[in-house]
Structure 1
Amino acid sequence: MAAAGPWPALWAVVAALLLLLLWRRRRAGGGGRVCVAVLGDVGRSPRMQYHALALARHGREVALLGYLQSRPHRDVLRSENIRLVPVAELSGLRVGPKLLQYVLKVLVQSVQLLYTLLRMDQPSYILLQNPPGLPSIAVAWVAGLWWGSKLIIDWHNYGYSIMSLSHGRSHPLVLVAKWYEKLFGRLSDYNLCVTDAMKKDLWVNFKIKAVTLYDRPASYFKETPLDLQHNLFMKLAKDYEPFRPRAASPAADRSAFTQRDGSAGSVRKAGGRPALLVSSTSWTEDEDFSVLLRALEDYERFIEEGAELPALVCVITGKGPLKDYYNGLIQKLHLKHIQICTPWLEAEDYPLLLGSADLGVCLHKSSSGLDLPMKVVDMFGCCLPVCAIHFECLHELVKHNENGLIFGDSQELAKQLKMLFLDFPSLEGKLASFRENLRESRQLRWDQSWDQTVLPLLGSRE
């Protein structure tokens, strides 16, 4: 008779583990404690930091769990109710084929994350960011069984759709990731998502009921006073060429660069203060920055052909895997009237930069077509008009010809830049009109939105 193999023993171990978990499970307690978790860099996860700050504001004890690569916002660091729980980022798993490396990474991350979750004080809720959801959703669910905690998933996008950018939608890993998110996503107690389009998709395709919590700007995203603009530019000048005072540089005159009253007169390529163009990115495959670079080349050509346009200082902020690639492309450009730099800014300086800029550009193209770029939300909080590349549900945020413009390719973006900056820095024209519309919109801020949407889910403190 053939041996039964290892499967009966394996299933016995799984059954024993589940029984142990069910036996260990206790009624939700934890004294109102909440674990806010992201299997990524906490400093580059603003929405999860906002969750932590909102919970702390309501007297909850918060364990903010994730990679501690970039410094979180100082409000997070100063809060007495927020404790950072570091998870070490894995590196060096480069043995064997890529598929084996990925499987090993998932297994090690699972053990590492579960160990971290089970060592902390019992939480009443685990609030988890997705993506990345593999393996964090399953691990958080197991930890929730152990603690008797309720699991809340905050759906920013789908992990499988991001994977499909590299592998294609029919790749086995992508199909497994989609099945995984669908299965384990249903085990959550509550779900948040970032758009109404995603809310509908979660229900139609995953049978997951979610509540839409739009990204909203924090209170410190606002227009920057001139003195703070000047201080920021002087700070940036220490490290970045476009901000260094130089007689031949269009960005040399700091007082002109921070001038907003339009008194500089007609701005031509030879003089006047430059316009400050800002974009931000994670330098990933869902943003094609060659679109912006080609548009800037066209803008340069417009100036050379005699168009009365200001010089540009273009600042692209962020960290990510494709940064070196795009920096290589930038170095090959030969632009006389446009200067580009790609800094990583401290959390406190980023809102100051947006509040000092004249126009924002967004190249985020959602992998699922269902999420919205938080960078645009932050720009709108600073009353900064935006040119954004089109995708399916962008209209939930950017209103074409009202608070910005939507473009389809580099040529259309270049024409929009030319049109917006022709009368710069006059207080007349489209750019000024968009800014005024943003000022008058009196946007809902994060704290107000969170209190209306998330707080009722948490109920009273235990």
Structure 2
Amino acid sequence: MGKLKHVDLILQVSLIIFMEIYLYFNGLYSLMFVTILFLYMASGFRVARSGSQVCIIVLGDIGRSPRMQYHAISFAKLKFDVDIIGYGGSVPHPDLVQNASIKQHILREPPSLPQFLPKIFQYVVKVLFQVCQLFFVLFFSIRWPSHIMVQNPPSIPTLFVAWCARIIYGSKYIIDWHNYGYTILGMSVGSQHLLVRFATWFENFFGKKADGHFCVTNAMKEDLKKNWSIKANTLYDRPPEIFQETALKQKHELFLKLSEEYSSFGDGSTRGIKTAFTEDTRSSGVVEKSQRPALLISSTSWTEDEDFSILLGALEKYEKAKELGDKLSHLPPLVCAITGKGPQKKYYQDIIAKKSFKHVKICTPWLTAEDYPLLLGAADLGVCLHTSSSGLDLPMKVVDMFGCGLPVCAINFNCLNELVKHEENGLIFQNESELAEQLQVLLCGFPEKKTKLQTFRENLKSFQEYRWEESWTNTVKPTLYV
């Protein structure tokens, strides 16, 4: 049987060579080129759908795209070779950087054009630049992919380019729906803008071209099915193992490190021994101070879908409540750390600088990938101001906080109850007055009295048991070769 297969292969190759020679001597060069291209593509198609080579397209800062980084790491654990395409800027997760099976392809930022040029012209130039870069990387830099996974949004031009690559390579094309691109665009130019209507059509048309779909909520799954006839699987964001409650000694070391740049974490007295929250005693080792402030943390990308004036207004009310000494007079001082980078950071930093708080300290650190989970695990309460442009996605920051066992106060929107359960693992508020009241209720008598916070922490233990890797293995892995 083996000899027959060998003979059959020789006959096929001989026939192909004979055909190419015949086309050449008859001057049919264009047809000759087409047949060679077809044979090249066919050779790839034979290995595509059964291979283990994935290309992940982010078209954003890779280091600030945690879900796509987790996808890459999970594929690598499954013995895939991974090419991830996106922009640089932030340092990605150490497990991604140090993994020999994962190769990053860093794109150049689109050129800056004179501001007097029409916005639509600038946008078109940016998109064309991205198309050229993506085509070059996809067809000249990466290995032949068996799978292509795309983060959406952004939709333009990613979905189109990925679809083209899918046709050429014969790869399985997967979209991971984080939100709708057209709704984000509508926030800046208005929902009725011609560009938004085009973006809606584009996202719908090319979104349907994919072979597989994942999304972040059941609400988005139903919306995709109802409005665009797209059948998606819900892959909830889950925290990886790095998000855990921080041990006391690690807290102390982290606070000492941060106090070198942010005085809010320091004690203002003995360097290396005391922080605002902890103290290294010679007899008992590291202990938490009995009169320590509460550590409030919020993470943001400083974009328009998060209104930090709500948090600042709530902190002003908290300050007044502590000053007045009413029935909630046992309120602790607050240290509020707002982490992240983004376009509106400078705007809010200027506002914060003008505040004259006595009992509230605010800092805006940018943390490394290693320090961020440690600070979440060291905090007493989290605040989330994320409001979805579509009302169909969930804030990754809350997932990270819950992974560390950190209760959250979150502003309400359409599908938030798929993650935050009011009065069970956190509280949901509508405005700054409700947030101010929740802060006062939860932190009254802190640190001696924190009954409600502790109840929320206990209720989060079941959430902490189910991590990203298990969720990915159960949801994504079974679909890869279907």
TM-score (norm. length: structure 2): 0.86
Cα deviation, 1:387-445, whole Å, max 9, x if unaligned, reads 00000000000000000000000000000000000021136521111111112444410
Q: CA deviation at 1:245?
A: 2.8
Q: Does 1:372 align with 2:394?
A: yes
Q: Does 1:117 align with 2:135?
A: no
Q: Does 1:320 align with 2:338?
A: no
Please name the residue that 2:9 is paired with.
Answer: none
> For 1:29, which of 35, 38, 47 is the aligned residue?
47
> For 2:321, which of 274, 278, 302 is the aligned residue?
302
Please name the residue that 1:448 is paired with.
Answer: 470
> For 1:214, which of 228, 236, 256 is the aligned residue?
236
Query: Would you say the 8 A contact 2:259–2:275 is kept in 1?
Result: no
SS across alignment from 1:29: helix
Please name the residue that 2:119 is paired with.
Answer: 98
Q: 1:407 to 1:308 in 2, by over 3 A?
A: same
TM-score (norm. length: structure 1): 0.90
Cα deviation, 1:77-136, whole Å, max 9, x if unaligned, reads 111211111111213133621110001111111111111111111000111100011101
Q: What is the rounded CA distance, in whole Å, between the counterparts of 1:298 and 1:20 in structure 2? A: 73
Q: Equivalent residues in 2 for 1:307-386 (5 A)?
A: 307-386=329-408
Query: Would you say the 8 A contact 1:303–1:309 is kept in 2?
Result: yes
Query: Would you say the 8 A contact 2:249–2:286 is kept in 1?
Result: no
Q: Equivalent residues in 2 for 1:388-407 (5 A)?
A: 388-407=410-429
Name which one, 1 or 2, has greater alpha-carbon Rg.
2
Q: What is the rounded CA distance, in whole Å, between the counterparts of 2:36 and 2:315 in structure 1? A: 61
Q: Does 1:278 align with 2:278?
A: no
Please name the residue that 2:76 is paired with.
Answer: 56
> For 1:86, which of 106, 129, 139 is the aligned residue?
106
SS across alignment from 2:79: coil
Q: 1:21 to 1:300 in 2, by over 3 A?
A: farther
The code of the aligned residue for 2:95 comes to D
SS across alignment from 2:460: helix
Q: How many residues align?
A: 435
The code of the aligned residue for 1:134 comes to I
Q: CA deviation at 1:25?
A: 4.1
Q: Any stretches of 5+ residues in structure 2 without a counterpart?
A: 1-33
Q: What is the rounded CA distance, in whole Å, between the counterparts of 2:46 and 2:261 in structure 1? A: 51
Cα deviation, 1:11-56, whole Å, max 9, x if unaligned, reads xxxxxxx999988643162541001110000000000000000000
Identity of paired residues, percent? 54
Q: What is the rounded CA distance, in whole Å, between the counterparts of 2:264 and 2:110 in structure 1? A: 36
Q: What is the rounded CA distance, in whole Å, between the counterparts of 2:53 and 2:412 in structure 1? A: 41
Q: What is the rounded CA distance, in whole Å, between the counterparts of 2:264 and 2:426 in structure 1? A: 26
Please name the residue that 2:448 is paired with.
Answer: 426
The code of the aligned residue for 1:383 comes to G
The code of the aligned residue for 1:147 comes to Y
Please name the residue that 1:437 is paired with.
Answer: 459
Cα deviation, 1:127-151, whole Å, max 9, x if unaligned, reads 1100011101101111111111111
Query: Would you say the 8 A contact 1:262–1:425 is kept in 2?
Result: no
Q: CA deviation at 1:243?
A: 1.6
Query: Would you say the 8 A contact 1:257–1:273 is kept in 2?
Result: no
Query: Would you say the 8 A contact 1:22–1:145 is kept in 2?
Result: no
Please name the residue that 2:199 is paired with.
Answer: 177
Query: Would you say the 8 A contact 2:252–2:279 is kept in 1?
Result: no
Q: What is the rounded CA distance, in whole Å, between the counterparts of 1:28 and 1:383 in structure 2? A: 47
SS across alignment from 1:366: coil
Q: What is the rounded CA distance, in whole Å, between the counterparts of 1:260 and 1:375 in structure 2? A: 29
Q: What is the rounded CA distance, in whole Å, between the counterparts of 1:437 and 1:291 in structure 2? A: 27
Cα deviation, 1:335-369, whole Å, max 9, x if unaligned, reads 01111111111011100000000000000000000
Q: CA deviation at 1:167?
A: 1.2
Q: What is the rounded CA distance, in whole Å, between the counterparts of 1:427 and 1:233 in structure 2? A: 23
SS across alignment from 2:369: coil
Q: What is the rounded CA distance, in whole Å, between the counterparts of 1:106 and 1:387 in structure 2? A: 38
Structure 1 runs of 4+ with >3 Å offset? 18-26, 251-254, 256-263, 440-443
The code of the aligned residue for 2:324 comes to E
Please name the residue that 1:4 is paired with.
Answer: none
Query: Would you say the 8 A contact 1:28–1:149 is kept in 2?
Result: no
SS across alignment from 1:157: coil
Cα deviation, 1:201-224, whole Å, max 9, x if unaligned, reads 011111111110000001110100
The code of the aligned residue for 1:419 comes to V
Q: What is the rounded CA distance, in whole Å, between the counterparts of 2:133 and 2:113 in structure 1? A: 14
164-173 or 359-368, larger mean C-alpha shift = 164-173
Q: Equivalent residues in 2 for 1:245-284 (5 A)?
A: 245-247=267-269, 252-255=275-278, 264=290, 272-284=291-303
Q: 1:341 to 1:429 in 2, by over 3 A?
A: same
The code of the aligned residue for 2:89 comes to Q
SS across alignment from 2:175: strand
Query: Would you say the 8 A contact 2:53–2:82 is kept in 1?
Result: yes
Q: What is the rounded CA distance, in whole Å, between the counterparts of 1:242 and 1:373 in structure 2? A: 26
Q: CA deviation at 1:290?
A: 0.4
Q: What is the rounded CA distance, in whole Å, between the counterparts of 1:364 and 1:152 in structure 2? A: 26
Q: 1:67 to 1:263 in 2, by over 3 A?
A: closer
TM-align CA RMSD: 2.4
